[in-house]
Amino acid sequence: MAEKKVTKIGVLTSGGDAPGMNAAVRAVVRTGLYHGLDMFGVMRGYSGMIDDDIVPMDSRSVANIIQRGGTILKTARSAEFMEPAGRKIAYDNLKKRGINGLVIIGGDGSFKGAQKFSNEFDIPCIGLPGTIDKDIAGSDFTIGFDTAVNTAVEAIDKIRDTADAHDRLFIVEVMGRDAGYIALHSGIATGAENILIPETKTDIEALIHSLSEKEKRKKLVNLVVVAEGEKFGGANEIASIVRQRLPKADIRVCILGHIQRGGSPSCLDRLIASRMGYAAVDCLINGTHNVMVGILNNTLHYTPLDHAVKAKDKISDDWLRIVKILAS
Ligand code: F6P
């Protein structure tokens, strides 16, 4: 049976907000309009589908947003949509408007929902990776990651000034519940001595050894960058262990938190969001359905939604060696 032509597209942002989501929404809406399609914004992620909070969008609805952080469509994590009854209500609300294609901008939790929905109902879904964590396989970048890392770098550079002025050891926590990419990238870029991430088991003895060695050699700045999902529990937990083992060290903890999620998107995030948003509409029109649009080696790449859900990239040992060698 021939697939039905997509004529009306809904776009939504789901899960944690990420800088560049607005640029993606703009690209989806304007590409759809260019092709003569009717475009709709679904408010607050899947919750808006269930609550019937769906608004028509024209070119002006997405004016002046490419440079704005957050998401004009707002976002949420919907427990109701994870239940079959919730998805049925959502489907009925799309159906009554004739919406027959969806673009979901979010992380792997959002893709899980999209995968279930597209298996149950005749509405194709396209995912765009929008998360500061970069924990989705099938794309070298996720929308928001570059901005978040640059925010972290700017903050850590400032912390370094105080670490230097007081000869202190700073333990800085960055975001990343299951993934250490923000820690790894920002840590290398700011010259951190140690970077602790969820993907590897933190070796406390090695950490204490390297910090005390540096103390002996009078290394001026001591900076440890820790991802929040690190297995001991994050910066506070690491600091209390280090305090017990190195009682003379003057230690401070700084948790960067949600400042990493907000702010105007970087050029890279605006660019990938625009390319991915454009490609998402192309997919819906040409019948490449139920995929996540990513960018690998600067080329658009399409991963079936179920693989985008399951796969996690492994952090290569090279990265971890670089940290050790450069921090000596
Ligand atoms: O997934 C993005 C992220 O910022 C994670 O790094 C972090 O653990 C989580 O979201 C925080 O979520 P919330 O804003 O709901 O506390």
pLDDT of 78-91, one tens digit each?
999 999 999 999 99
Q: How far is the CA of 177 from the centre of ligand 1 (A)?
A: 7
- The whole-number pLDDT of residue 314 equals 72
Prediction pTM value? 0.96
Check if 227 has its Cβ closer than 6 Å to any atom of ligand 1: no
Tokens representing 15 are 């899960």
Nearest CA to ligand 1 atom 12: 16
Give the other-Cβ count within 10 Å of 316's Cβ. Answer: 9
- Say if residue 72's pLDDT is above 60: yes
State in Å: Cα 96 to ligand 1 middle.
Answer: 34
At a CB cut-off of 8 Å and minimum separation 6, what does 291 contact? 126, 127, 283, 302, 303, 304, 305, 308
Q: Is 175 in the pocket of ligand 1 (CB under 6 A)?
A: yes
For a ligand 1 pocket test, name from 177, 226, 258, 312 the mutation site with the most ligand atoms within 8 angstroms of its C-beta. 177
Q: Of 51, 28, 50, which Cα lies nearest the Cα of 39?
A: 28
Going by alpha carbons, the residue nearest to atom 10 of ligand 1 is 16
What would the pLDDT profile of 253-293 be if each residue is shown by its tens digit? 999 999 999 999 999 999 999 999 999 999 999 999 999 99
How far, in Å, CA of 124 to CA of 101, rounded? 5
What b-and-e string marks burial along 31-59, b requiring 16 or more CB atoms within 10 Å of the CB? Answer: bbbeeebbbbbbbbbbbbbbbeebeebee
Which stretch of DSSP H or E encloses residue 253? strand 251-255
pLDDT for 5 beyond 60: yes
Strand order in 169-174's β-sheet?
194-196, 222-227, 169-174, 251-255
**Residue 260 in contact with ligand 1 by CB distance below 6 A:** no
Backbone angles phi, psi at 126, to 5 degrees: -120, 130
Q: Domain extents for the chain?
A: 8-144+265-310, 146-261
Q: Tell me the sheet residues that pair with 114.
A: none
Q: What is the pLDDT of residues 113-171, one digit of tens each?
A: 999 999 999 999 999 999 999 999 899 999 999 999 999 999 999 999 999 999 999 99
Hey, what are 265's tokens? 């998107």
Question: Closest ligand 1 atom, CA of 228?
Answer: 8
Give CA–CA dist 207/170, Å, rounded: 14
Give the per-residue pLDDT at 197.
Answer: 95
Residue 133 Cβ inside 6 Å of ligand 1? The answer reads: yes
Which of the listed residues 133, 142, 174, 178 should we mutate to test ligand 1's pocket, taking the one with most ligand atoms within 8 A of CB? 133
Q: Is the pLDDT of residue 309 over 90?
A: no
Which of 78, 132, 173, 260 maximizes ligand 1 atoms within 8 Å of its Cβ, making it the mutation to test the pocket? Answer: 132
Percent of the chain with pLDDT over 70: 96
Residue closest by Cα to atom 13 of ligand 1: 16
Rounded Cα–Cα distance for residues 179 and 74 (Å): 24
Residues forming the active site: 133
Q: Ligand 1 pocket, 16 CB below 6 A?
A: yes
Residues of the chain with pLDDT > 90, as a percent, come to 87
User: In this structure, what token pair is assigned to residue 141?
Assistant: 């970048």
- CATH architecture of the domain formed by 146-261: 3-Layer(aba) Sandwich (3.40)
Give the CATH fold of the 8-144+265-310 domain. Rossmann fold (3.40.50)
Work out whether the CA dihedral 16, 159, 195, 235 comes out positive or negative.
negative
Beta carbons within 10 angstroms of residue 238's beta carbon: 23
Taking only the tens place, the pLDDT of each residue in 213-252 is: 876 666 667 899 999 999 999 999 999 999 999 999 999 9
Give me the chain's average pLDDT, please.
94
* Domains 8-144+265-310 and 146-261 in one fold: yes
d(CA 211, CA 154): 24
Structure tokens at 317: 């040992």
pLDDT band at 312; cut points 50, 70, 90: low
Atom 6, ligand 1: which residue's CA is nearest? 176
pLDDT for res 316:
82
Measured distance CA(205)–CA(316) in Å, rounded? 22
What pLDDT is recorded for position 217?
Answer: 64
Structure tokens at 161: 């000034």
Residue 15 CA, closest ligand 1 atom number: 1
CA distance 219 to 227: 23
**Does the C-beta of 261 come closer than 6 Å to ligand 1?**
yes
95 is written with which tokens? 């159906």
Q: Which helix (H) or strand (E) holds 295?
A: strand 291-296
